[in-house]
Structure 1
Amino acid sequence: MNEFKDMKSFIRIVEAGSITKAASQLNIAKSALSKRLSILEQRLGINLLNRTTRSQALTDSGKLYYQQCLRIIEDVSVMESSLQNKLCALSGPIKITVPLSFGLSHLSPALLKFNKTHPQIQFDIDFNDKKVDLINEGYDMALRIGKLEDSSLIAKKITSAKLILVASESYLKKHGTPQVPTDLLQGHVRLHYRNTTETLTFKNNDNTLVSINIPTTMISNSGDYLCQAAVHDMGLLSTPDFICHKYVKTGQLRPILTDYYQPAVRGIYAVYPQTRHLSRKARELIDFFVKYFAKMPDWGVRPGI
C-alpha cells in the first residue's frame, strides 16, 4: 500500500478529466488505474468520484480529499527541494508548449543554452500557436503571448513584444508611403494573420482613435510566411516585432505610420497550472528565461530604424 502514490494517481485522474486520459499520461493500463482508484475508495470508505461512461465529477468528499492531496504533495515537494543540494544536477523531462514563430526564432537558442548547462534535462517541446489544455495534455508549462484569459494559470512575465506595421520599399514606391492613416484607403492592401482582427486601429494627434479596413491579399496562420510575403512586395503587414525585426534592420521592410500605429505592448509569459506544484527544474527554466530576456530583446524595433 502506497498512500503517496495513490494520492498522486488521484490528482492525475481529477486533472486529466478521465481515467482513460490519466492512464495514458501515467503510462499505465486503464484497468490498473481504475482498480487503484477503487481500492483507494474502499480504504477510505467513501466515494471520491461520481462516474458514468461519459463523465466524472468529484463528490463533496472527493473535493476535500483532492485539495488535501494537493497540499500534502506540495509540502513534500517543498521539503525535498529544501533538502536538495543546490549544486545537484537537474534531470528528467520538461514538457512545454510554445508559440511557433517565437519558439523557433527566439526560444530555441535559449533552450539550447539552458540544455548546455543542464544536459540531463530532456525537453518535450510542442511548437504550436493553438492554446492547449496544459493539465489534460500533461504539460509542465507553456509560453503565452498577449492577454491571459485563463485564470487557472499562474503567469510570470519573461519579456514583451509589440506590433508594428511594415512594408517593403518596392511596395511603398508602387503604392505610395502613407503619411496619415486615411492614406491607406488609396489602393493599399494587407497581409492578414488568421484569427486576428482585420481592422487596423490608429491614434490621431488629438488621441482619438480611427479604425481602417483595407483589402486583404493573403491570409495565413504563419507569421513567418507573411513576413516573407511582405518582403516580396505583396502588401502591408501588422506583425509582432520579434518576427520581422531582422528584415527591418536590414532595410528589407520599413515601419510606417509609427506616430499613429501604437498598439499596446504585449507581454510574453511563462504559465503553469496553479493546481500543480512546479518542479524545481521547471522553476529553474522560468528563472532562466527571465534572466535571458532581461536586456532589451534583439527584436526591439525603434521608430525610424
Structure 2
Amino acid sequence: MKWNISDLPVFVAVVEKEGISAAARSLRMPKSSVSRFVQRLEDDLQVRLLERNSRQMRMTSEGEVFFKHCQLIMEQVEAADAHMNGLSHTPSGELTISLPMAFSRDVLAGHLHRFNKQYPEIQLNIQVTPTAVDLIGEHIDLAVQVGDLPDSELIAVPLFETPLIWVASPSTYAAGHTFPGLDALVEQVHVCERRYNKTALPMRYQGDKHKVEIQASIETTDPIMVRDTVIAGSGVGLLPSLYCRSAIERGELVQVAQNMELDLMAKASAVYTSRRMLSAKTRLFIEFLKDLTSDM
C-alpha cells in the first residue's frame, strides 16, 4: 500500500464539508496543507479523486468508491478506539440496504421498529428492488438476494431456505387436491415468478425424478403478486412456503399436489462486499436479519 492512511480523515473532511476551505476550518489546518494532503493521496493512489476548480468541487466516480471505503475505515478506527478505552461504542450514521419486495413486505416491515428502537442513531435507507444490485457501484452497504449467488467477491450470509409448494384458493381446489400427472398440474399455473417460469424444474413424483417446465402467461418478479393473484382464483401457484403460511392459516390458500414435490428450495442471503471492511452497523443489521429469520 503506497498511500498514507493518515490522509484519510483529511479527504473525508473535504468531501463532507464540500470544499477545501470548509474542511481546513473544521480541521484547524491551513488550506494549503489540506490541498497538499489530498493531492498526495491522489498521487499515491494514481487516480483522480476530486474534480475541482476555483468555484466548485465534485467527486469523481473513483472518488465516490474510495470515499465509501474511507467511511468504513474511519468507523472501524473509531470503534477500536472506543473499545480500547473501555467505552461503549454506539454505531451511528446511514446504512443503505437493498431488499426484494416480498422480503421487505412479508418478513421485515413488521419488525423494523425493533431495530430502530435498539439503535436509534443508525439511519436506515432501504431500497426495494426486484433485481440484484451492484453493491459498490450503487453504494449499497448490504443487500438481501434470493436464489443461488453467482461467483463473485461478495460475502454471503445465509438467512433462510424454505420449500417451494403448490397452492390454490379453496374455491378453486380442495386442500391436498391431486392431479393425474405433472402436465395436468403445470397446465393450471397461469401466473408464475420469473425465476421459475419457462425453466426446467427438478421434481419428485411417484418415487422418480422428473423435470417440468411451467409456461405461465403472467410472469412477475414479485412472489407476493403471484400469491395474491392465486388467492383471487387464478389456478395453481408455485410459491416459497414462507410467503404462503399466513394465507394458508387464514384459509385464503390451500396446499395442493402434495405428492408432486419440487426438488428445489427457495433461499435468501445477506450479501456485502468485504468481511474485512464490514462496518459495525452493517454487522448489527445482519445479526438482526439472522435472528428474524432463524425459525423460518
Instruction: Please provide the CA RMSD for this pair.
Output: 4.0
Taking a change above 3 Å as real, the CA distance of residues 36 and 230 of structure 1, as seen in their structure-2 partners, is farther
User: Would you say the 8 A contact 2:198–2:213 is kept in 1?
Assistant: yes
| Shift in CA distance, 86/261, structure 1 to aligned 2, threshold 3 Å | farther
Whether the 8 Å CA contact 1:143–1:269 is kept in 2: the answer is yes
| Structure 1 partner of 2:288 | 288
How many angstroms apart in 2 are the aligned matches of 1:73 and 1:150?
Answer: 29
Amino acid at match of 2:216: T
Residue in structure 2 matched with residue 257 of structure 1 by the alignment: 257
Deviation at 1:225, TM superposition (A): 1.8
Q: CA deviation at 1:70?
A: 11
Say if 1:172 and 1:154 are closer, same or farther in 2 by CA, change over 3 A.
Answer: same
Q: Hey, what's the Cα distance between the residues in 1 that align with 2:171 and 2:270?
A: 39
Partner Cα distance (2:17, 2:162) in 1: 39
Rounded Cα–Cα distance in structure 2 between residues aligned with 1:177 and 1:39: 72
Whole-angstrom CA distance in 2 between matches of 1:35 and 1:249: 66
Aligned residues of 1:179 and 1:257 also touching (Cα < 8 A):
no
Deviation at 1:94, TM superposition (A): 0.8
CA distance in 2, matches of 1:110, 1:266: 22
1:126-165 alignment, distance < 5 Å: 126-165=127-166
Aligned runs of 1:168-247 on 2, under 5 Å?
A: 168-172=169-173, 177-178=178-179, 180-184=181-185, 188-199=188-199, 200-208=201-209, 210-213=210-213, 215-247=215-247
Matched position secondary structure for 2:251:
coil
Distance 1:6 1:238 in 2: 55
**Among 32, 45, 48, the residue aligned to 2:46:** 48
Partner of 2:30: none
Q: Does 1:80 align with 2:78?
A: no
Alpha carbons 1:168, 1:233 under 8 Å: kept? yes
TM-score (normalizing by structure 2): 0.72
Q: Is the 8 A contact 2:99 2:128 kept in 1?
A: yes
Taking structure 1 as the reference length, what is the TM-score of the superposition?
0.70
Look up the SS of the partner of 1:159 in the other structure.
Answer: strand
Structure 2 equivalent of residue 117 of structure 1: 118
In structure 2, relative to structure 1, the CA distance for the partners of 1:136 and 1:217 (3 Å cut) is: closer
5+ residue gaps, structure 1, are 13-22, 58-68, 298-305
Q: 1:285 to 1:223 in 2, by over 3 A?
A: same
Measure, in 2, the Cα distance between the counterparts of 1:251 and 1:78.
50
SS where residue 172 of structure 1 aligns?
coil
Contact 1:180–1:257, Cα closer than 8 Å, also in 2: no
Specify the code of the residue in structure 1 equivalent to 2:107.
Answer: H
SS of match in other structure, 1:163: strand
Deviations 1:255-280 (A, max 9, x none): 22223223333332111101761111
Partner of 1:300: none
Structure 2 residues not aligned, in runs of 5+:
24-34, 50-59, 63-69
2: distance between equivalents of 1:36 and 1:168? 66
Deviation at 1:28, TM superposition (A): 4.7
Q: Report the AA paired with residue 287 of structure 2.
A: D
CA distance in 2, matches of 1:115, 1:71: 21
- The answer to whether the Cα contact below 8 Å between 2:197 and 2:216 also exists between their aligned partners in 1 is no
Letter in structure 2 aligned against 1:239: L
How far is the alpha carbon of 1:228 from its aligned partner?
Answer: 1.2
Name the aligned partner's letter for residue 166 of structure 1: V
Distance 1:96 1:148, change over 3 A: same
* Equivalent residue number for residue 106 of structure 2: 105
**Structure-2 change in CA distance of 1:192 and 1:97 (3 Å):** same
Looking at structure 1, the residues matched to 212 and 224 of structure 2 have their Cα atoms a distance apart, in angstroms, of 24
Say which is worse superposed, 147-156 or 93-102, in terms of deviation. Answer: 147-156
